């Protein structure tokens, strides 16, 4: 099969289009013929080696974390899916590889594709929707009437998180450029702050939850707008010792992550704020719940551009540019 791979970590090196064997399936796996794949900043960060301390991949590596396609083969223990099913998924870490023609995925990470979405729309959903779900539902336990600040509202995670937070009954504030204001309001944001001309720290206070996806400076500002007992959940770091323990990291990685996050953890403790780092996990059951929200019209995908498979490097470059509204998708078929 054709696949885009990396054979070493590098910032200015393109993905290589190569021939790879079709993956062998295990007893609990399904083999998916890929129709569309979502592109995420995570793919770029893995390509450059930013996560090599916590995600130790063997090279060459096929990148890609979102998939929509059709099951062509099932393992002998698979109970919930059959050949011909249209599915979507965020494959588990160490089993990624959706920039290819086929992928083998554990059935526990797979869900039936929403009936009202195209393959391209479906491929835009898994990673960002699972991230939003795990931040807002699983960890923050957002309740009706709470105030939630979601940074970078026009990004892949932001566009879904705004819709989910509104569904949960929250008042939602976000940041975006002026040209994205209409989209933010359409998705349900109550307060939209132009990050180029205004500082959210001067506009927001006593918030219950912040979803942080930006840099260290923005993280510390976010801490200051939270009330005592609030939750600051970051998907951009710094990772914590708790996270290191969750992934079974070696002792030296635990020490490094402890040092990296010590400053923000101390400041959060002083303000009685719960700081945590979230690296989303594959989860087919959660994705099925998200499917229900999509099919009922509560959440809709926001797709900026669709690239052909041959232009995968261009798609990744566009994501790296930071100009995308919503998600970028690669179309295979």
At 306, list the tokens.
């669709």
58 CB neighbour count, 10 Å cutoff = 6
The fraction of the chain above a pLDDT of 70, given in percent, is 100
- pLDDT(333) > 90: no
3-class state of residue 125 by DSSP: coil
- The pLDDT-based confidence of 298 (bands split at 50, 70, 90) is very high
* Domain 127-277, CATH number (from 3.40.50.10470, 3.40.50.720, 3.40.50.970, 3.40.50.300): 3.40.50.720
Domain boundaries, the chain: 2-125+301-331, 127-277
Model confidence at 321: pLDDT above 90: yes
Q: What is the pLDDT of residue 113?
A: 98
User: What would the mean pLDDT of 19-38 be, rounded to a whole number?
Assistant: 98
pLDDT level of residue 54 (50, 70, 90 thresholds): confident
Question: If you average pLDDT over residues 88-112, what whole number do you get?
Answer: 98
CATH number of 2-125+301-331: 3.30.499.10, 3.90.180.10, 2.60.120.10, 3.40.640.10? 3.90.180.10
Token readout for 282 is: 């594959």
Question: Could you tell me which of 333, 267, 329, 332 has the C-alpha nearest to residue 125?
Answer: 329
User: Which one, of 87, 106, 35, lies nearest residue 306 by Cα?
Assistant: 35
2-125+301-331 and 127-277 in the same fold: no
Report which of 13, 5, 10, 92 is spatially closest to residue 49, judged by C-alpha positions: 10
> Is residue 56 classed exposed, middle or buried when 0-12, 13-18 and 19+ CB atoms within 10 A define those classes?
exposed
Nearest to 65 by CA among 46, 86, 43: 43
Residue 190 pLDDT more than 90? yes
Average pLDDT over residues 282-305: 98
């Amino acid at each position: 099969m054709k696949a885009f791979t990396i054979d070493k970590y590098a910032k200015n090196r393109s993905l290589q289009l190569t021939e790879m064997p079709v993956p062998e399936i295990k007893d609990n796996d399904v083999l998916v013929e890929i129709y569309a794949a979502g592109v995420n900043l995570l793919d770029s960060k893995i390509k450059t080696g930013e996560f090599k301390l916590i995600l130790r991949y063997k090279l060459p590596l096929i990148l890609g974390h979102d998939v929509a396609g059709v099951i062509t083969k099932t393992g002998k223990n698979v109970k919930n899916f059959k050949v011909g099913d249209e599915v979507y998924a965020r494959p588990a870490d160490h089993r990624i590889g959706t920039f290819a023609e086929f992928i083998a995925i554990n059935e526990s990470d797979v869900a039936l594709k929403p009936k009202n979405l195209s393959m391209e729309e479906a491929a835009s959903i898994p990673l960002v929707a699972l991230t939003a779900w795990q931040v807002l539902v699983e960890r923050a336990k957002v309740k009706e009437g709470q105030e939630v600040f979601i940074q970078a509202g026009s990004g892949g995670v932001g566009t879904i998180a705004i819709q989910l937070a509104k569904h949960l009954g929250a008042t939602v504030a976000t940041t975006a450029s002026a040209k994205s204001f209409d989209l933010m309001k359409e998705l349900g944001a109550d307060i939209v702050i132009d990050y180029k001309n205004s500082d959210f720290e001067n506009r927001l206070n006593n918030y219950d939850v912040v979803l942080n996806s930006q840099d260290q400076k923005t993280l510390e500002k976010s801490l200051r707008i939270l009330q005592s007992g609030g939750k600051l959940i970051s998907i951009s770091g710094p990772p914590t010792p708790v996270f290191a323990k969750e992934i079974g990291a070696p002792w030296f990685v635990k020490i490094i992550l402890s040092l990296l996050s010590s400053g923000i953890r101390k400041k959060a403790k002083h303000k009685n704020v719960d700081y945590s780092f979230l690296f989303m996990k594959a989860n087919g059951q959660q994705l099925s719940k998200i499917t229900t929200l999509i099919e009922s019209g509560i959440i809709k995908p926001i797709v900026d551009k669709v690239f052909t498979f041959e232009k995968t490097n261009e798609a990744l470059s566009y994501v790296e540019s930071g100009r995308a509204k919503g998600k970028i998708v690669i179309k295979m078929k």
